[in-house]
Amino acid sequence: MTARATTAELIRAKRDGAALSEEDIGRLVAGIVDGSVSEGQAAAFAMAVYFRGMSCAECTWLTRAMTRSGTVLAWPDLGGPILDKHWTGGVGDKVSLILAPVVAAAGGFVPMISGRGLGHTGGTLDKLGSIPGYDTTPDVRRFQSAVRDAGCAIVGQTADLAPADRRLYSIRDVTATVESIPLITASILSKKLAAGLDALVMDIKVGSGAFALSFQTARALGESLLAVAGDAGLRTTALLTDMSQTLGHHVGNALEVLEAIEFLTGARREARLHAVTSALASDLLVLGGLARDGGEGVAAIDKALASGTAAERFAKMVKVLGGPADLVEHPGRHLVRAPVELAVAPETSGLITGIDARAVGLVVAALGGGRQAIEDAIDPAVGLADVRGIGERVGRDRPIAVVYARSRGAA
């Protein structure tokens, strides 16, 4: 198939349901990066894809072209597989903070590019932003040397990784075209391929705290990601995990870093958080050739936690990226804590039978711990601690949660 003569022809073809060629897509992506494709044209293209979809081949070409639109990282001579996890967003989910050092302790290298939270969901980058001195936006050299030294580094997206996605995503964000499975697939995978990964595990969240994904949509997204990642040569698995309640005990940025540290050191481990982290990390170890099967993967994870090696990797990552060297030993000295604590206890006792996890996320955002627009500042100190889960008993002496707020009024 030959390339369409103009961008308008290409958009018309997709609007009318025709398949695009690899050349069409390559030219469009080049134009998105150099600005010769206007914002209006990129938006029209995204809307045409939203309604008409894309074949797996078209989506792979889009993914590849967006990957090559900027720097593609290489990791020569590290002596282990390059692995990462991506999740679709939720409430109280601090799995990335735990999984990256666990996988590093088991022999992998994890260059994790994370995002900020929006609306009801938390972002890994905001959580790390509560660690004084931690550089969430290092240049590529510092990022690469942190991965080499600590085995893992969690940072924000740099301007030179997949710049085509950066521009297209910002246009999709304001033109109601985010919720397109081929566009989401290409967006996620182009950034992962640009990070130079050998293998990826996707954590697709389902339930009241996830982005508006029905079970069917989550499954379709997983299938699309697996098909395109397979075509692009990236070993990938996808798990659908439960977000019908918050994950772990705490929700809020500094509180979640504290929980991740307590998990890594063994001071306290919430069972669901443990199960989800183990399932994702063991898949990664198998994909990366560090374990023969899931059982061996789980054993390697348990060893990384029990030996303290995973906690050491986390401590090293924090130190090499500019944070306090003794954060793991003395988190209370460094993580901010909101001045007002208010335990929320019901008048009568009972069992928790359901949680609107989205509403929990919105409460934390309203306290100042989240944002409505991506440029909003957030307060790392606020949040909800010890949020009880489904099936747990609550009463006058067993609060549903403890609110951490800046003032009594806010609490």
State whether residue 112 is helix, strand or coil: strand
Cβ proximity to ligand URA: between 100 and 184 the closer is: 184
Q: Which of the following is catalytic: 84, 93, 126, 165? A: 165
Q: Which of the following is catalytic: 64, 127, 191, 388? A: 191
Told to check if 118 binds ligand URA by CB under 6 A, we report: no
**86 a catalytic residue:** yes
Question: How many residues contact ligand URA, by CB under 6 A?
Answer: 6
Residues 222-281, interacting with ligand URA (CB under 6 A) = none
Written as six digits, the tokens of 74 are 């290489």
Please tell me the distance from the alpha carbon of residue 92 to that of residue 293, in angstroms, as a whole number. Answer: 29
Please identify which residue in 184, 210, 257, 335 interacts with ligand URA, judged by CB under 6 A. Answer: 184
Using a 10 angstrom Cβ sphere, with 0-12 exposed, 13-18 middle and 19 or more buried, the burial of residue 307 is exposed
**187 a catalytic residue:** yes
Please identify which residue in 124, 187, 241, 246 interacts with ligand URA, judged by CB under 6 A. Answer: 187
Please tell me the distance from the alpha carbon of residue 100 to that of residue 315, in angstroms, as a whole number. Answer: 12
Cβ proximity to ligand URA: between 155 and 310 the closer is: 155
**64 a catalytic residue:** no
Please tell me the distance from the alpha carbon of residue 205 to that of residue 218, in angstroms, as a whole number. Answer: 8
Using a 10 angstrom Cβ sphere, with 0-12 exposed, 13-18 middle and 19 or more buried, the burial of residue 282 is buried
Question: What number of other Cβ atoms are within 10 A of residue 332's Cβ?
Answer: 7
Q: Which of the following is catalytic: 21, 130, 180, 187? A: 187
Contact string (CB under 6 A) for ligand URA, positions 142-181, x = contact: ---------------------------x--------x---
Residue nearest to ligand URA (CB): 187
Distance of CA 389 to the CA centre of its chain: 22
Cβ proximity to ligand URA: between 123 and 399 the closer is: 123
Cβ proximity to ligand URA: between 190 and 265 the closer is: 190
Residue in the block written with tokens 């509560």: 130
**191 a catalytic residue:** yes
- In 3D space, the residue among 71, 83, 314, 278 whose CA is nearest the CA of residue 200 turns out to be 83
**165 a catalytic residue:** yes
Q: Give the residues lining the site for ligand URA (CB under 6 A).
A: 169, 178, 183-184, 187-188
Question: Which residues are the active-site residues?
Answer: 86, 165, 172, 187, 191
